[in-house]
């Protein structure tokens, strides 16, 4: 029986704000590695191990970011299934399951992996998978992997083990006292959120316990279309689907739940205190990343993304700096970052949605300055990259080439612009930008008008299917 790896990449990770944001979520950051993101590390864990081609489920707005990170790894043949909206893990896994049945067989064996976990002991992980395969295949079990706890953690769910890999009980995030008793008993494992099961068995159990989710996802998947490298599903049907985790929807109800221990290094990087615990520390027990100077500070996590950060005489703090936001929080209150994100969302603040540097399929842009009726961006267009043919109802634009060569459509005019050359695009004029060379194109864009929001874009033609 061959195994189909399924990577779930739908979470935002709001407790890791201001680094993780809606348009650039936690799995796509290199949080514990200098080179590879959490998503890329997850993929590396299963690619080239004799498994079938990868299936990734991600939010539609992250599709190019995910595709680019897979491409950077040299991964070929992966299927990327797009969720129009987030509906938690039970519907996401159902989508992946239906796609695996379509690609392989009704009884394909799925290895479900969250994209934001850290597992450093690959040999122990693959040993656990081999133990789980006969349970899932011949025993038709829904197998979850339990991690041997190393501390009395209150941020994880627990599994009480029974006889012969059976699950005796699922326990939600416990109190400190209960967590300590679980650790002392030796009968409990952390619930990792990694699963192995047959496609037909999961769908049957989902239909049994949450027929509403099964029906909504089945209808949405039946309306699927293939768009370039992506599988798009019926948006209206999926939006009508209830939101539920796989644990609540299926695993905690079924009599087919089994748990296989994984006796290796594991972490769910859910908040800044977890990331601090996992990182290497200096002699003062500090984690200092980026342009940081610490003086007489201890047990702090300080991260600079764009400028110098100096910490003097502080203790047990998390300090995270980005170009447009700074977080300062007591490390013991790391879970409360989500309350800040909630307030930002209620106030429609852009800082919860995107960074000043935003990635696009053609390259990226960075907001340099903004004010009433104007916005200044630095655009970097990758070789061969093309912005859509578009127009704006409320703003004019001025493009100045800093380096490289730009192929520009400005109304009825077509032109090539090189370093220090520019063009002005009035409101309502159809325009396009392309990098026709094998070197990056950099330019400055100055927007002016009575409204400069990103939604003032009318795309007339787009190479990326947006």
Tens digits of per-residue pLDDT, 65-121? 999 899 999 998 899 999 999 999 999 999 999 999 999 999 999 999 999 999 988
The 10 Å CB-count burial string (b at 16+, else e) for 302-317 is bbbbeeebebeebebb
- Express each pLDDT in 353-383 by its tens digit: 888 888 888 999 999 888 889 999 999 999 9
Query: How far apart, in whole angstroms, are the C-alpha atoms of residue 72 and residue 238?
Result: 30
CATH number of 357-461: 2.60.120.10
| Matching CATH number, 3-268, of 3.90.550.10, 1.25.40.80, 3.40.605.10, 2.160.10.10 | 3.90.550.10
**Residue 237, both tokens:** 């049907």
Query: How far apart, in whole angstroms, are the C-alpha atoms of residue 105 and residue 200?
Result: 9
Query: How far apart, in whole angstroms, are the C-alpha atoms of residue 314 and residue 136?
Result: 51
Mean pLDDT of 17-35: 89
Q: Domain ranges for the chain, please list them.
A: 3-268, 272-338, 357-461
Of 414 and 185, the one with more pLDDT: 414
- Say what angle helices 89-103 and 211-222 make with each other, to 10 degrees: 50
- Express each pLDDT in 140-157 by its tens digit: 999 999 998 888 888 788
Q: Write down the pLDDT at residue 391.
A: 95
* pLDDT reading at 428 higher than 90: yes
- Describe the chain by its helix, strand, coil percentages, rounded to 5: 30, 35, 35
pTM for this model (two decimals): 0.84
* pLDDT reading at 123 higher than 70: yes
* pLDDT reading at 13 higher than 90: no
Could you tell me what percent of the chain has a pLDDT over 70?
100
Could you tell me what percent of the chain has a pLDDT over 90?
72
* pLDDT reading at 227 higher than 90: no
Q: Write down the pLDDT at residue 151.
A: 86
Q: What average pLDDT does the structure give for the chain?
A: 92
Q: Write down the pLDDT at residue 163.
A: 84
């Amino acid at each position: 029986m061959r195994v189909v790896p399924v990577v779930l990449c739908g979470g935002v990770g709001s407790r890791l704000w201001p680094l993780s944001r809606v348009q650039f979520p936690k799995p796509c950051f290199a949080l514990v590695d200098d080179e590879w993101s959490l998503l890329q590390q997850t993929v590396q864990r299963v690619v080239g191990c004799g498994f079938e081609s990868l299936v990734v489920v991600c939010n539609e707005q992250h599709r190019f970011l995910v595709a680019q990170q897979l491409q950077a790894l040299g991964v070929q043949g992966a299927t990327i299934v797009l969720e129009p909206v987030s509906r938690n893990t039970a519907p996401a896994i159902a989508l992946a399951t239906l796609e695996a049945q379509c690609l392989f067989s009704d009884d394909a064996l799925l290895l479900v992996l969250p994209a934001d976990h850290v597992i450093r002991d690959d040999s122990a992980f693959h040993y656990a998978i081999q133990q789980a395969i006969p349970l899932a295949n011949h025993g038709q079990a829904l197998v979850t992997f339990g991690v041997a706890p190393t501390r009395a953690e209150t941020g994880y769910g627990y599994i009480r083990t029974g006889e012969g890999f059976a699950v005796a009980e699922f326990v939600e995030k416990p109190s400190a006292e209960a967590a300590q008793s679980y650790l002392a008993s030796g009968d409990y494992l952390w619930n990792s959120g990694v699963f192995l099961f047959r496609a037909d068995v999961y769908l049957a159990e989902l239909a049994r316990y949450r027929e509403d989710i099964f029906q909504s996802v089945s209808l949405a998947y039946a309306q699927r279309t293939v768009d370039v490298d992506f599988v798009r599903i019926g948006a209206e049907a999926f939006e009508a689907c209830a939101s539920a985790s796989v644990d609540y929807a299926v695993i905690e109800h079924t009599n087919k739940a089994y748990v296989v221990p994984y006796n290796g290094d594991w972490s769910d990087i859910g908040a800044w205190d977890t990331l601090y615990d996992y990182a290497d520390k200096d002699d003062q027990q500090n984690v200092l990343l980026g342009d940081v100077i610490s003086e007489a500070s201890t047990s702090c996590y300080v991260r600079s993304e764009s400028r110098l950060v100096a910490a003097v005489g502080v203790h047990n703090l998390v300090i995270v700096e980005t170009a447009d936001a700074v977080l300062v929080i007591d490390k013991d209150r790391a879970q409360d970052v989500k309350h800040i994100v909630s307030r930002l969302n209620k106030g429609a603040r852009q800082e919860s949605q995107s960074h000043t540097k935003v990635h696009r399929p053609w390259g990226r842009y960075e907001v340099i300055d903004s004010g009433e009726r104007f916005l200044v961006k630095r655009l970097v267009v990758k070789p061969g990259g093309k912005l859509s043919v578009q127009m704006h109802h409320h703003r004019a634009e001025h493009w100045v080439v800093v380096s490289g060569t730009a192929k520009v459509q400005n109304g009825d005019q077509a032109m090539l612009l090189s370093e220090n050359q520019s063009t002005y695009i009035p409101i309502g004029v159809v325009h396009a930008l392309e990098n026709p060379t094998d070197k990056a194109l950099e330019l400055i864009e100055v927007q002016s008008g009575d409204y400069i929001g990103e939604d003032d874009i009318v795309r007339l033609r787009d190479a990326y299917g947006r």
